[in-house]
A and B are shown apart, each in its own frame.
Chain A
Amino acid sequence: KNEVEQSPQNLTAQEGEFITINCSYSVGISALHWLQQHPGGGIVSLFMLSSGKKKHGRLIATINIQEKHSSLHITASHPRDSAVYICAVRDMRFGAGTRLTVKP
């Protein structure tokens, strides 16, 4: 079993929809990262969480340490949100990523 499991693997949404991506992990962690990777390959760090909830613009990330689970939410999704979203824990053990496509 992978240390970091993400779901869904692929997600297609219509512009404006609310999106949720989930991440479960099996190891003890000090922080969890949510990353965004665009088709060109470059990676952007969206959030680093150790507890609770963080919000940045239309993005919200939550983490439940006891349940070893984190979620990334995108409100009012837009085609430019189309990317692969990756969660990572510990010294960068990565989930397989969720490929999000937002259609206009």
Chain B
Amino acid sequence: GAVVSQHPSRVICKSGTSVKIECRSLDFQATTMFWYRQFPKQSLMLMATSNEGSKATYEQGVEKDKFLINHASLTLSTLTVTSAHPEDSSFYICSARVAAYEQYFGPGTRLTVT
């Protein structure tokens, strides 16, 4: 099946720094990628929808200036957490849509902000 990778898988950073997470579709082109966040013992929450070559659409309550999303190509989307704080510590997951009903998930990135 189709593969979506994320890098890094784990990252620890200091409060106030920025962290970039990459999401790549390895063997297919994805016009749309999604970014999710999951806090411990909670379900995933959609943060934003990213279409290649256009600005991301953010869900209500998600700060677009804090969570910068770039979808520069059909195989790569990046999420940058700017000026990270401990409350941003979470599990970040991306997914890539191939067709209307085909969507594949990345393995996730665990961010810890100290």
Contacts and interface: CB of A to CB of B under 8 A. Distances in A.
A42 B107 contact: yes
A57 interface: no
Interface string A26-38: 0000110101000
Contacts of A35: 105
Contacts of A92: 34, 36, 44, 46, 95, 103
A7 interface: no
Interface stretch (A14-22, A44-52, A63-71, A72-80): A44-52
A31 B44 contact: no
Contacts of B107: 41-43
Given A30-B100, A33-B103, A48-B103, A94 B108 contact: no
Interface residues of B, number: 22
A43 B43 contact: no
A93 B100 CA distance: 16
A41 B101 contact: no
Interface of B: 34, 36, 38, 42-46, 49, 91, 93, 95, 100-108, 110
27 contacts: A31-B100, A41-B91, A41-B93, A41-B110, A42-B105, A43-B44, A43-B93, A43-B105, A43-B106, A45-B103, A45-B104, A45-B105, A48-B101, A48-B102, A48-B103, A50-B101, A86-B43, A91-B34, A91-B46, A91-B49, A92-B34, A92-B95, A92-B103, A94-B44, A94-B46, A95-B43, A96-B43
